[in-house]
Structure 1
Amino acid sequence: MTLVRVTKVFNNNAVLGVDPVIGERVLLGTGIGFGVKPGDPVDPAKIGKTFVPTRGTPAERIARLLTDLPPEDLDLTGEVLADVQDVLGAQAAEQVLLPLADHLSFALRRMREGAPPIEYPLQWEVPTLYPAEVALARRALGVIERRRGVRLPDEEAVPVALHFVNAQLGTADMSQTVGLTRLLSEAVGVIDADLGTRIDPRSADAARFVTHLRYLIADLRADRGVREPADDQMAAALRAARPREWACAERIAALVGARVGREVGGGEVAFLALHVDRLAAR
């Protein structure tokens, strides 16, 4: 076992430690920070939970959340994520634990105080664009009801689903996910307007299109390379055979590029045109 040493003491129950193999971790445990100073070894018997700092959730924010969160709400969120981990994935579940616990603790406190439900934005867009994540969010509300005997308002499925989307995209910035949701909704609206049709958001083709756009936008934001078509002749043939669909794909690419601040290449236009063509056929 590698020796973890303290690099910063947040309080008696939380420290920042560094493992020579896996790097920095926020370590939580009763008395883990009592009487220790930077450079001291961490008592492994006192480590209760371990959290990985990220750019979006630095160590100081993790420590602050851990200090403010009731332990029972953190444990409840762990049970919620254990129930949906089969779909969400272990890595995403670990990443979303603290921000989701912070949100659920706030929602439960409002219920205890008798506060009215919050009217969250994107009540239509989120269920339409992220039906799988909304289904997981409703599962989560069911777990909370079974464990606490209270039913959070159905409106809470929207922010919980957005936390799940956040985790899958590997970001801790909720404002980015809200912006992504609005952009996806606009892109779907472009297809509706250009093709004179109404996309069924429950269809498999619509789900594939939205998923493709989600990861295209994430790649553009992260400045990761995007795909080029394997065959320029294929792209040219698609453009000639489906000019309306190609023009629609170009409009979507221009919209995405303008919002993200990066140009969407011709290769991605071809992939978008294939999605638009499938939706037009349906």
Structure 2
Amino acid sequence: MTENAFNVIKWGTHMEQQLKIKKVLNNNVVIAAHPTYEEVVLIGKGIGFNRKHGDEISFDKADKTFLLSNEQEKEQYVSLLPYIDENLIDFMNDILLHIEARMGQELNQHIHVALTDHLAFAIKRAKQDLQFSNPFLLEIESLYPKEYQIAMEVVTMIYDKMAIQFPEGEVGFIALHIHSAVTDKTLREINKHNYLITHLVRLVEETMDITIDKNSVDYHRLVQHLHRAIDRVYQNEHVGDEIRLANMLKEEYPVCYNLAWKLIKVMQKQLNKPVDESEAIYLTIHLQRLTHKP
């Protein structure tokens, strides 16, 4: 069950449904027992003020509701809240609603824990003037342009609300959290793939003895193709068998063709999965565009 499903319940026929509070986490967050979904997290300004275990609360008192069916995530969320300013918890509600509306789809429940945790410590770092670089920033912007744009909007929201200026790298980190929440991929998996793409791009530069313009259209095409190629590996998809085209490219662009196979072998080793041979065709075309000097 997703948080969007809860919104249907909230604003539908069950709008006045009464729930029993199981735990008050702070003035703005409570955990309540639900007859169908067992436990739900209710978030709203002052929703937990002067309330205790066993009190009844109307479903429509919450601004946002979600499930934390994963026991480990629920424990993380409960243990995290005492260390976070209650105003931030309330503001997180606005941030998550904004992300959900802009993405036009429901978010995986884990973003409540992961993004809240990340932003709380990012704000702390910003106040202490501690900055972390993001080595995948350009790749993230190229791979997830919509998430990146929304992350920039989140950073603006934080500045407008709290007068805290985040370094540019934080936009990339927030974009990854958003992408994770809409794809159900873990941040570890996403970062692993971004590292692989960065490694492959560096390999192209070293082999071809060039410096790639990270703002060029051809660079973005290459990065996006590598990303889709990795996805195809996991989905066991094939891009087609074009033997004649492969032979032509091998003769016409031998350096790029051989480099394409070098990249494929690196991908196979890092992903520990076979890569469709036809990927060499499309990689060769991208590499030829990238390295072609008129």
TM-score bracket, normalised by the shorter chain, equals 0.7 to 0.9
8 A contact 1:69–1:105 mirrored in 2:
yes
Q: CA–CA distance in 2 between the matches of 1:236 and 1:167? A: 42
**Cα RMSD between the aligned structures?**
3.9
The partner residue of 1:76 within 84, 87, 91 is 91
User: Which residue number corresponds to residue 244 of structure 2?
Assistant: 233
Q: Could you tell me which amino acid in structure 1 is paired with residue 213 of structure 2?
A: D
CA distance in 2, matches of 1:237, 1:152: 50
Q: Which residue in the other structure is 1:181 paired with?
A: 194
Residue aligned with 1:213, SS: helix
Q: Which residue of 2 aligns with 1:147?
A: 161
Q: TM-score, normalised by structure 1?
A: 0.73
C-alpha deviation, 1:243, in angstroms:
2.3
Kept after mapping to 1: 8 A contact 2:139/2:223: no
Cα gap change, 1:175 to 1:44, in 2 (>3 Å):
same
d(CA) in 1 for partners of 2:224, 2:52: 44
Measured in 1, the distance between the counterparts of 2:116 and 2:79 equals: 13
Q: Does 1:14 align with 2:31?
A: yes
| Bigger shift: residues 272-281 or 93-102 | 93-102
Amino acid at match of 2:190: T
Matches within 5 A, 1:203-222: 203-220=216-233
- CA contact under 8 A between 1:126 and 1:181: conserved in structure 2? no
Q: 1:96 to 1:242 in 2, by over 3 A?
A: farther
CA distance 1:24–1:255, change in 2 (3 Å): farther
Deviation at 1:264, TM superposition (A): 1.1
Report the secondary structure of 1:104's partner residue.
Answer: helix
Q: Give the Å deviation of 1:74.
A: 3.3
Answer yes or no: is 1:264 the counterpart of 2:281.
no
Q: Hey, what's the Cα distance between the residues in 2 that align with 1:90 and 1:67?
A: 30
| Cα distance in 2, alignment partners of residues 203 and 234 from structure 1 | 26
> In the alignment, what sits opposite 2:6?
none
More displaced stretch, 186-195 vs 146-155: 146-155
Q: Which moved more, 1:151-160 or 1:127-136?
A: 127-136
Seq. identity, %: 20
Query: Hey, what's the Cα distance between the residues in 2 that align with 1:84 and 1:90?
Result: 9
Q: Deviations over 1:13-59 (max 9, x none)?
A: 1147575xxx78743253698328xxxx9953354422355879844
Per the alignment, do residues 187 and 83 of structure 1 end up closer, same or farther by CA in structure 2, a change over 3 Å counting?
A: same
Secondary structure in 1 aligned to 2:41? strand
- Displacement, 1:259? 1.1
Counterpart-to-counterpart distance in 2, 1:239 and 1:78: 54
Q: Where does residue 53 of structure 2 map in the other structure?
A: 34
What code does the residue aligned with 1:150 have? I
Does the CA contact (< 8 Å) of 1:16 and 1:27 recur in 2?
no
Q: Which residue of 1 aligns with 2:212?
A: 199
1:12-161 equivalence runs, <5 A:
13-15=30-32, 17=34, 19=36, 26-29=40-43, 30=47, 34-35=53-54, 44-53=59-68, 58-65=73-80, 69-80=84-95, 88-91=103-106, 96-111=111-126, 114-122=127-135, 125-127=136-138, 129-131=140-142, 132=145, 136-161=150-175
Mapped partners of 2:248, 2:268: distance in 1: 24
Q: Following superposition of structure 1 onto structure 2, how do residues 235-254 of structure 1 map, counting pairs within 5 Å?
A: 235-254=246-265
Letter in 2 for 1:151: Q
Partner secondary structure for residue 65 of structure 2? strand
User: Unpaired runs of 5+ in structure 2?
Assistant: 1-8
- Alpha-carbon offset, residue 127 of structure 1: 2.9
Equivalent pairs counted in the alignment come to: 267
Alpha-carbon distance in structure 2 between the residues aligned to 1:205 and 1:18:
54
- Distance across 1 between alignment mates of 2:119 and 2:149: 17
